Amino acid sequence: MLTFERGQNRFNYRVAGVFLDQAKILLHITQEAPFWLLPGGRCEMGEASDEAITREMQEELEIQVKIERLLWIVENFFEYSHYHFHELAFYYLLSMPTDCELLYKSTFTAQDSGVTLYFQWFSLNELDALELYPAFLKTDLLHLPLNPHHIIHRDPRVSRQVS
């Protein structure tokens, strides 16, 4: 996975998927990072971002997804767990097969590299009440762009720190 550290600075190359179904969005949380995120992961060396998102969804959700379109290319800067992060992320609008059982489960769990991921479908109206990162998602998920947008975003500090 593409992560580099230099002192207290960390760089990540990440991909994330936006699943929308009947005005609901799929998010996940872990015990190690107790805030909500879009499903995704990190790219591997030599792996294109579209390949990475399909691989990550196969690993996490055990499904083949369809990429609808690229939504955002985000330079995200934040502090978390004693690190200053510089993250480059590609956010894709994805769809699941219409017969996918995950569309009918309000909550479910999955394993990823020994970490339990707790997934939940949320109404888009609930986003404001969630601790969701990056924070721009609370507003931008309500108005998905038709063409990719480049965003430079700064979350000063992810509120819950991991020791």
Each residue's pLDDT tens digit, 153-163: 998 766 544 43
Tell me the H-state helices in 21-153: 49-61, 137-140
- Asked if the model's pLDDT at residue 81 lies above 70, the reply is yes
Percentage of residues of the chain with pLDDT beyond 90: 86
The strand pair at 9-21 and 83-95 is best described as parallel
Q: Quote the pLDDT of residue 161.
A: 46
Q: What is the mean pLDDT of residues 6-25?
A: 96
DSSP 8-state code for residue 104: G
* Average predicted confidence (pLDDT) for the chain: 93
